[in-house]
């Protein structure tokens, strides 16, 4: 099943898979076939357009008794709300006088549509008998005394789309059913590049402009070290030697941030992922949430510039991992061997964008990074 989908202004998440829908239709068809086996006349299958097209289509392929198929178009919904007034948008495509009718509906919500239709068929159109057959029903909302003769599945009161159901005419062509997502899809940007490229320098401006939470794994770890936590002590010895902290530790901190930070449109990861296995883990973490990496923005400088920038930063910030040329060289080597392969990984996924920040002032480079973000966001 695919990820979340966006229709007009709303996001929908996967809800009922196609194979479950088909299993429900199989059951409904079995019941109909039993009830209409050896029926003395030819019943009419009435497809209520447009939502019931896929349902009626699948059902017909399973119906074994002779039947006639006709359509009608009704409307009671506007956007995601029932208006309470049922409109007969298009007349019956054939008379049902004296006939047994099986109404095929995609979904019964308040029941306004189906009950109005049933009454119309019996009282105005002279049908001999009317049965209601619906793929879905929302029992919490349905408040009519009329029996629903054939029901595929009961669902809670939530707005759904797919398999014929629409949101303002979009979504009918999805083979699975999706439910409206009250917690819409977040953006996940990765700020990528060698140490000293300016990830931390530019992250604030990007995060502010796009309402993202900036997550610097280095800063999260340094906060643990400063607080003297167990995790911090373990991390310190590794960081001081220019080595990487175990993936599980970093990933745990990131997942916690994804779960707990509210009120943002997404996250800006800085310093993570740093190797291919972390990138695969990140994909898995996001996949579980029905989400995925939005884009990776690589800030590129060459090795000489890395030395120059980090030496300068060491004087200003006094970071232990910036202290000696040997540590810097070690970090550059780690970057080239472990982190750089991520460029190809994200390029292959069509998610990699690059900004040259080797020359220029901080302001100039920030403008370049923000301009690049504009082309992605
Ligand atoms: P009712 O008259 O309130 O029972 O609504 C029936 C009609 O409303 C259906 O045939 C659909 O066209 C539409 N509808 C009800 N619930 C939903 C939903 O969750 N998604 C999309 N359409 C819906």
Q: Which residue minimizes the CA distance to atom 20 of ligand 1?
A: 160
Q: What is the pLDDT of residue 181?
A: 86
pLDDT in tens, 139-168: 999 999 999 999 999 999 999 999 999 999
The catalytic residues are 199, 274, 313, 319, 331
- Quick check: 343 and 325 in contact, CB under 8 A? no
Q: What is the mean pLDDT of the chain?
A: 89
State whether the Cα torsion 307-312-315-316 is positive or negative.
negative
pLDDT at position 47 over 80 = yes
Q: How far is the CA of 78 from the centre of ligand 1 (A)?
A: 9
Q: How far apart are CA 338 and CA 277, in angstroms?
A: 10
Fold of domain 5-180: Rossmann fold (3.40.50)
> How distant is the alpha carbon of residue 66 from its chain centre?
42
User: What are the distances in angstroms from CA 341 to CA 13, 335, 336?
Assistant: 32, 9, 8
Q: What is the pLDDT of residue 206?
A: 95
Q: What is the pLDDT of residue 1?
A: 46
- What number does the ligand 1 atom closest to the CA of 86 have? 2
Residues of the chain with CATH 3.40.50.2020: 5-180
Confidence band, pLDDT 50/70/90 cuts, at residue 10: confident
**Mean predicted confidence (pLDDT) in 310-339:** 78
Task: Say whether 219 sits in a helix, a strand or coil.
Answer: helix
- Range in 78-82, 304-308, 333-337 with the lowest mean pLDDT: 78-82
- Range in 42-56, 67-81, 178-192 with the lowest mean pLDDT: 67-81
Identify how many contiguous H helices and E strands the chain contains and give both numbers.
12, 15
Q: How far apart are CA 27 and CA 25, in angstroms?
A: 5
Q: Which residue minimizes the CA distance to atom 8 of ligand 1?
A: 77
- Quick check: 254 and 272 in contact, CB under 8 A? yes
**Mean predicted confidence (pLDDT) in 175-188:** 88
Q: How far apart are CA 353 and CA 372, in angstroms?
A: 8
CATH of 187-376, one of 2.10.69.10, 1.10.3430.10, 3.40.50.300, 2.60.120.960: 3.40.50.300
- Quick check: 237 and 221 in contact, CB under 8 A? no
**Mean predicted confidence (pLDDT) in 323-340:** 86
- Quick check: 326 and 344 in contact, CB under 8 A? no
H or E element: which one contains 119? helix 112-119
Q: What is the pLDDT of residue 125?
A: 94
Q: How far apart are CA 54 and CA 57, in angstroms?
A: 5
pLDDT at position 19 over 90 = yes
Q: How far is the CA of 70 from the centre of ligand 1 (A)?
A: 20
> Bigger pLDDT: 67 or 181?
67
pLDDT at position 263 over 60 = yes
State whether the Cα torsion 221-224-226-229 is positive or negative.
negative
Q: How far apart are CA 124 and CA 131, in angstroms?
A: 16
Q: Which residue minimizes the CA distance to atom 11 of ligand 1?
A: 107
- What number does the ligand 1 atom closest to the CA of 159 have? 19
**Pick from 291, 299, 103, 276: nearest CA to 198:** 299
- Quick check: 191 and 297 in contact, CB under 8 A? yes
Ligand 1, pocket-test mutation among 10, 50, 79, 82, most atoms within 8 A of CB: 82
pLDDT in tens, 272-308: 998 999 999 999 999 888 789 999 999 999 888 888 8
pLDDT at position 104 over 80 = yes
Residues of the chain with CATH 3.40.50.300: 187-376
**Residues in the ligand 1 pocket, defined by CB under 6 Å:** 51, 76-77, 82, 105-114, 159-161, 165
pLDDT at position 322 over 60 = no
Question: Residue 184 is encoded by which pair of tokens?
Answer: 């819409």
């Amino acid at each position: 099943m695919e990820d979340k989908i966006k229709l007009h202004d709303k996001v929908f998440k996967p809800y009922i898979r196609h194979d479950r829908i088909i299993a429900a239709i199989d059951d409904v068809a079995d019941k109909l076939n039993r009830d209409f086996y050896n029926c003395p006349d030819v019943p009419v299958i009435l497809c209520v357009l447009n939502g019931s097209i896929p349902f009626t289509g699948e059902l017909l392929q399973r119906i074994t008794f002779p039947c006639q198929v006709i359509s009608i178009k009704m409307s009671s919904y506007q956007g995601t709300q029932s208006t309470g007034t049922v409109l007969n948008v298009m007349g019956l495509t054939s008379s049902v006088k004296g006939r047994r009718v099986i109404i095929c509906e995609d979904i019964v919500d308040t029941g306004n549509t189906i009950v109005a239709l049933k009454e119309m068929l019996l009282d105005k159109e002279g049908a001999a008998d009317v049965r209601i057959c619906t793929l879905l029903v929302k029992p919490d909302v349905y408040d009519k005394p009329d029996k629903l003769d054939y029901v595929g599945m009961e669902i809670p009161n939530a707005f759904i789309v797919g398999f014929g159901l629409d949101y303002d005419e979009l979504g009918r062509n999805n083979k699975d059913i999706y439910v409206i997502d009250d917690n819409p899809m977040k953006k996940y940007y990765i700020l990528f590049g060698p140490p000293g490229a300016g990830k931390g320098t530019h992250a604030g401006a990007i995060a502010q402009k796009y309402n993202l939470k900036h997550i610097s794994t280095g800063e999260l770890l340094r906060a643990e070290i400063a607080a003297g936590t167990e995790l911090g002590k373990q991390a310190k010895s590794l960081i001081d030697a220019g080595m990487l902290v175990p993936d599980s530790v970093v990933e745990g901190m990131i997942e916690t941030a994804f779960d707990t930070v509210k009120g943002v449109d997404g996250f800006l990861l800085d310093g993570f992922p740093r190797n291919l296995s972390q990138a695969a883990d990140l994909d898995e973490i996001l996949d579980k949430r029905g989400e995925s990496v939005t884009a990776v923005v690589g800030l590129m400088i060459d090795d000489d510039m890395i030395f120059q920038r980090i030496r300068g930063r060491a004087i200003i910030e006094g970071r232990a991992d910036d202290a000696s040329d040997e540590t810097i060289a070690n970090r550059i080597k780690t970057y080239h061997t472990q982190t750089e392969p991520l460029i190809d990984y994200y390029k292959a996924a069509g998610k990699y964008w690059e900004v040259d920040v080797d020359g220029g002032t901080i302001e100039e480079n920030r403008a370049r990074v923000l301009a690049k973000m504009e082309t992605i966001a």
